[in-house]
Amino acid sequence: MSVKNTLLALLYQHPMHGYELGKQLTLTVHAEWDVKAGQIASTLARMNEAHLVDYEMEATDDAPDRKVYFLTEEGLEELRQWYLTPEVRQYRLGDTFYVKLVLSLVGGPIDPEQVLMVQRHELYRQLHEITEMRRKADPQTQLPWVLLLDSATMHLEADLRWIEMCEARLPDLKHYNPPEPKPKARGRPRRKAKKKEETLPSGD
């Protein structure tokens, strides 16, 4: 996720200082996305250098003066471009688990049956966790969060169906034999020895 664009989107609502941005991010998005206060501060500093945001100093009675950030015209244009840029979601084409499974098929210390079993247990654990979060969420006040949980549930269920397909086709998968790369000659090629001209013995 882009911390920069998220902060721009929040500042579009109204000017805020760094602490407010961190709190508002959590309250608005609800997602399991832990953005530290230091990350927000460093991102705001870079955004200010890039003229995406500016700030005014706000005096306080019981604390040091603080910077209240607001969107600039450049920041607003950046935000518009972000909203109008489609996101390519990851559908696990070549993810770590796929690589692990393929390598177990061609020979490894753990057989593919066990690799699939461990992954299936983890997917069920995640599905149970997401289901509990979905049960506790209030559709009246947290509808975007509910829809995100539904999306996560659908992806986990699809992954579980894929694991079942792999297990059903394990006998065929075990015949997978990847091609080997062509051997490459090492070092410099030897020079061909020049043939010595045969010399006839000279007569006396």
pLDDT, residue 185, reads 63
Question: Which secondary-structure segment (H or E) carries 66?
Answer: strand 66-71
* pTM score: 0.69
pLDDT, residue 157, reads 96
Interval 131-148: pLDDT, tens: 999 999 999 999 999 999
Interval 70-98: pLDDT, tens: 999 999 999 999 888 877 666 656 678 88
**Is 91 or 62 the better-scoring residue by pLDDT?**
62
Has residue 204 got a pLDDT over 50?
Answer: no
Mean pLDDT of the chain: 85
pLDDT, residue 134, reads 95
pLDDT, residue 12, reads 93
Cα–Cα dist 48/139, whole Å? 37
Using CA atoms, how far residue 141 sits from 14, 145, 146, in Å, is 21, 9, 10
Interval 20-33: pLDDT, tens: 998 888 877 766 67
Using CA atoms, how far residue 189 sits from 65, 122, 186, 194, in Å, is 73, 53, 8, 15
**Is 110 or 50 the better-scoring residue by pLDDT?**
50
Closest CA to 44 of 87, 7, 98: 7
Interval 150-192: pLDDT, tens: 999 999 999 999 999 999 999 999 888 877 677 766 666 566 6
Q: Packing angle between helix 112-136 and helix 96-105, nearest 10 degrees? A: 160
How many other CB atoms are found less than 10 A from the CB of residue 32?
8
Termini Cα distance of the chain = 96
pLDDT class for 54, splitting at 50, 70, 90? very high
How many other CB atoms are found less than 10 A from the CB of residue 115?
19
Provide the residue type at 62 as one letter: D
pLDDT, residue 93, reads 66
pLDDT, residue 172, reads 92
Provide mean pLDDT across the span 52-64: 84
